[in-house]
Amino acid sequence: MAYCVNCGVELSSSENKCPLCGVKVYRVEGMNKEEAGTPLYPKSVMNVSIGSKELLPALAVFFLIPILICVICDMLISHKLTWSTYVICAMMLAYVYVFLPFVLGKKRVKLYIGACTFATLLFLFFLSEKTNSGIAWFLEIGLPVCLGAGLLLIALNILFSCFGNKKLAKIASVFFALGTYTVLINVCVNVYLKMQNILTWSLFSLVPCVIIGIGLLIIEKNTRIKSEVKRRFFI
């Protein structure tokens, strides 16, 4: 008794193809040794992989949807570009953040960080001009905070390459960078607001970040403690 390999219907001995789906019937008893030894179906299916760069045009087109919708709504309501300019600039900034890594590749991290920092500075300058916040807000808060973030990210990238496989040292450097960045934000805001105390709330973030970072570096240098931490926390 034979059955169709496609739909499972029972086949008679005289049928050469399935009467239901039309798939050809292979009978082992009627084959010679060469035909019987040859597999009727492939053992594996070839995997077709699509590269990330091949998807970029499609993703770029999808990113245009919110821009076009906002522009159309703005033109229908205001008959000119008003609030939709915020969406356009924000989406352009998102284009830099999302698509630039695929264009530059993995080895140009510093160039990517620099491009993102420059694009963010342009966006903040646009906001300061569009909202009439004044150039002081951009120069005293936006510019130093944005540049500080870019420089810290570049410094972390350099430290990561120097540390190699020292994961705890890399984590410690991240905590040091976070504590430093909160201090930078605190100083810029207080200077802009003309407050007497330059450092206030950032100390609550700086102190634990520094302590955690020092503790991680101590563990990194102690081989016994490091192996025990790795065993318990699967680091």
What pLDDT is stored for residue 52 in this prediction? 61
What pLDDT is stored for residue 135 in this prediction? 85
Mean pLDDT of the chain: 84
What pLDDT is stored for residue 142 in this prediction? 92
Q: Is the pLDDT of residue 154 over 90?
A: yes
The secondary structure of residue 29, as a DSSP letter, is: G
pTM here? Answer: 0.69
- pLDDT one-digit tens code per residue, 95-139: 899 888 888 877 789 999 999 999 999 999 999 988 877 788 899
Outline where the chain has alpha helix (H).
Answer: 33-37, 52-78, 84-104, 109-130, 135-137, 143-163, 167-192, 202-221, 223-233
Lowest average pLDDT, out of 51-65, 130-144, 168-182, 194-208, goes to: 51-65
Lowest average pLDDT, out of 11-20, 47-56, 185-194, goes to: 47-56
The C-alpha atoms of residue 89 and residue 78 are separated, in whole angstroms, by 19
- pLDDT one-digit tens code per residue, 28-84: 555 555 545 555 555 555 555 555 666 777 788 888 898 999 999 999 999 999 999
Q: Coil, helix or strand for 32?
A: coil
- Residue 12: band (very low, low, confident or very high) from pLDDT cuts 50, 70, 90: confident
**Across the strands, what pairs with 2?**
11
Tell me the mean pLDDT in the region 183-189.
Answer: 94
What pLDDT is stored for residue 101 in this prediction? 85
Using only C-alpha atoms, the chain has a radius of gyration, in whole angstroms, of 31
What pLDDT is stored for residue 143 in this prediction? 94
What pLDDT is stored for residue 186 in this prediction? 95
Q: Is the pLDDT of residue 202 over 80?
A: yes
The C-alpha atoms of residue 153 and residue 117 are separated, in whole angstroms, by 10
The C-alpha atoms of residue 138 and residue 147 are separated, in whole angstroms, by 12
b/e code 110-148 from CB counts within 10 Å (16+ = b): eebbebbbebbbebbbbbbeeeeeeeeebebbbbbbbeb
